[in-house]
């Protein structure tokens, strides 16, 4: 029976007040950490991340992390091991029994890591120019390509796996992903798809102040639907063609999930976890900033507690919020980085701004995308103009833009203007913010916009080779 007595209500109010004090203290620690981004010496650096599926060349079937029942069959872990000599440090995951699994490699300006379904990601940076990023990526590719050629494998650049069903792709041996998988199975229907079968291109940018960070966050969120549309590179979802879905609305895949008619990753993220995806809570509110961002994170379920908190292995949080899980403990930088890493908004705060709507795509397009963002966000006039145009946006307007783009493509109404006009203007604006030797990097996306195409209109063979 619920106790409605005055004493009970007062006790409950006291608990709520104590919780608010705790959240406020923790939120200030996170906000102070984010302000540390102002001190980064570069000031206008770039971070570049590109995820790849490793697939069999002839069948496009996925290559798993390892094949314990087939000792002679090469997996992604074996490929990492063969690349290790070219890197300075190997990254390992250790389980409760002390067994170690290779999950990454790193050297100066380049880190290889594995996403949950063994997608291979390269993270490049900090860099200051597009040619610098291209050179680092090319060095990575040239080391990897002979191994793939020998084994009859290739890299697939796509937003969703070109052949496999998500349920058939095993997770790599990493506690973080095991607990995330468990959580997302309870928070939405598409978590399994997001983790095992999606791949993206992400770009990170610096900010100079909290005001600058919030302005860039809002502009990035406003641009998100347009970026997702232009870089839409998922022609298959759960073994079904999105083109078939366009002709047969409501088409259902073998996994029981409806096939989106385009912008597959956006549709997936719309049904993963409302507190962790798409737009941060209150991002267009007048009082939005580092503190508000942190408070929303702290009140969300922690999913799992890391070894640094438990003193042992990772542990299921069983619904506890981050604030509760970290009660009685001053948040360290490692604690804060763990919290920030478990939210997956289209644009998110770290000690930099990470912009995430684009699908994985061949490097010539990924470099064009990076040039587009550099030219817009590191150019004072362009950023100010976009800030003015997006001043009246809210979550509903951004969500409606995605719906319109999926239905009407380049003719879609996006904040009162056609998508085609938006994208033409953005490319012109970006060109003014790039160095002379960077402007031509925009051409692959410029050609798509001029011809009113997206990556879905590029023949698949052109989406395999990385050469520009």
Q: How confident is the model over 200-239, as pLDDT tens digits?
A: 999 999 999 999 999 999 999 999 999 999 999 999 999 9
The pLDDT of residue 317 is above 60: yes
Residue 238: count other Cβ atoms within 10 Å of its Cβ.
Answer: 21
Q: Which fold has domain 40-300+343-463?
A: Creatine Kinase; Chain A, domain 2 (3.30.590)
51 vs 6: which has the higher pLDDT:
51
Q: For residues 261-280, b (16+ Cβ closer than 10 Å) or e, as one string?
A: bbbbbbbbbbbbbeebbbbb
Q: Which DSSP symbol is given to 332?
A: P
Q: Is the predicted pLDDT of residue 104 greater than 70, yes or no?
A: yes
At 17, is the pLDDT very low, low, confident or very high (cuts 50, 70, 90)? low
4 has a pLDDT exceeding 80:
no
Query: What number is the average pLDDT over the span 105-111?
Result: 98
Task: Write down the pLDDT at residue 108.
Answer: 97
Helix (H) or strand (E) holding 7: helix 6-35
The predicted model gives 43-71 an average pLDDT of 95
Residues 6+ apart with CB under 8 A from 305: 314, 315, 316, 317, 325
Average pLDDT, integer, range 91-116: 95
Cβ contact 192:185 at 8 Å: yes
> How many Å apart are CA 224 and CA 338, to the nearest integer?
25
pLDDT one-digit tens code per residue, 285-296? 999 999 999 999
The residue among 342, 373, 336, 284 whose CA lies nearest residue 34 is: 336
Other Cβ atoms closer than 10 A to 26: 24
pLDDT of residue 309: 86
> What's the confidence (pLDDT) of residue 461?
57
User: pLDDT value at position 458?
Assistant: 87
Pairing of strands 344-345, 277-278: parallel
pLDDT tens digit string along 391-406? 999 999 999 999 999 9
Q: Counting every residue, how long is the chain?
A: 468
- What pLDDT score does 15 carry? 44
For 291-329, letters b (16+ CB in 10 Å) and e give bbbbbbbbbbbbbbbbeebeeeebbebeeebbbbbbeee
Q: What is the pLDDT of residues 245-271, one digit of tens each?
A: 999 999 999 999 999 999 999 999 999
Three-class DSSP category at 467: coil
Find the radius of gyration of the CA atoms of the chain: 22
Asked whether the predicted pLDDT for residue 5 surpasses 80, the reply is no
**φ, ψ for residue 188, nearest 5 deg:** 180, 170
State pTM to two decimals.
0.93
Give residue 47's pLDDT.
98
* Residue reference for tokens 């209150």: 282
Residue-averaged pLDDT of the chain? 93
Residue 306: φ, ψ to 5°: -75, 165
Q: How confident is the model at residue 313 (pLDDT cuts 50, 70, 90)?
A: confident
pLDDT over threshold 90, residue 20: no
Mean pLDDT of 450-468: 72
- What is the DSSP annotation of 333-392? HHHHHHHHHT-EESEEESSSEEE--PBP--HHHHHHHHHHHHHHHT-HHHHHHHHHHTTT
User: Who has greater pLDDT, 430 or 461?
Assistant: 430
Provide DSSP, 128-189.
SSHHHHHHHHHHHHHHHHHHHHHHTEEEE--SB-SS--GGGSPPPS-HHHHHHHHHHHHH-S
């Amino acid at each position: 029976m619920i106790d409605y007595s005055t004493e009970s209500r007062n006790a409950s109010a006291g608990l709520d007040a104590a919780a608010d004090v705790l959240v406020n203290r923790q939120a200030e620690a996170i906000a102070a950490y984010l302000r540390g981004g102002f001190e980064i010496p570069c000031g206008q650096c770039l971070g570049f991340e590109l995820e790849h599926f490793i697939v069999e060349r002839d069948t496009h079937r996925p290559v798993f992390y390892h094949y314990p029942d087939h000792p002679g069959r090469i997996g992604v872990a074996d490929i990492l091991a063969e690349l290790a000599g070219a890197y300075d440090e190997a990254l390992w995951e250790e389980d409760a029994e002390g067994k170690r699994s290779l999950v990454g490699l790193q050297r100066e300006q380049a880190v290889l890591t594995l996403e949950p379904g063994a997608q291979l990601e390269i993270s490049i940076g900090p860099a200051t120019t597009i040619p610098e990023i291209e050179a680092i990526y090319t060095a990575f590719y040239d080391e990897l390509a002979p191994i793939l050629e020998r084994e009859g494998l290739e890299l697939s650049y796509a937003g969703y796996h070109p052949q496999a069903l998500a349920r058939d792709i095993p997770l790599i041996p990493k506690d973080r992903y095991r607990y995330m998988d468990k959580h997302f199975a309870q928070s939405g229907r598409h978590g399994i798809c997001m983790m095992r079968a999606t791949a993206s291109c992400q770009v990170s940018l610096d900010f100079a102040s909290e005001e600058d960070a919030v302005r860039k966050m809002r502009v990035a969120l406003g641009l998100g639907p347009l970026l997702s549309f232009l870089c839409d590179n998922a022609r298959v979802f759960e073994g079904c063609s999105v083109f078939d879905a366009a002709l047969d609305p409501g088409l259902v895949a073998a996994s029981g999930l409806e096939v989106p008619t385009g912008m597959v990753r956006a549709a997936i993220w719309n049904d993963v976890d409302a507190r962790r995806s798409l737009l941060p809570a209150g991002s267009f509110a007048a009082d939005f900033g580092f503190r508000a961002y942190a408070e929303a994170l702290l009140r969300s379920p922690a999913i799992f507690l890391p070894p640094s908190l438990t003193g042992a292995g990772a542990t299921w949080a069983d619904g506890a919020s981050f604030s509760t899980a970290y009660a009685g403990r001053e948040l360290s930088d490692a604690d804060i980085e763990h919290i920030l890493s478990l939210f997956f908004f289209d644009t998110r705060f770290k000690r930099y701004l990470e912009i995430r709507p684009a699908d994985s795509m061949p490097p010539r397009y990924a470099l064009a995308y990076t040039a587009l963002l550099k030219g817009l966000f590191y150019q004072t006039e362009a950023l100010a103009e976009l800030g003015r145009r997006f001043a009246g946006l809210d979550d509903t307007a951004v969500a409606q833009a995605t719906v319109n783009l999926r239905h009407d493509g380049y003719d879609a109404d996006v904040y009162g203007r056609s998508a085609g006009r938006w994208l033409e203007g953005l490319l012109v604006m970006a060109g003014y913010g790039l160095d002379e030797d960077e402007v031509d990097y925009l051409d692959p996306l410029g050609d798509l916009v001029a011809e009113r195409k997206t990556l879905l209109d590029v023949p698949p063979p052109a989406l395999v080779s990385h050469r520009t």
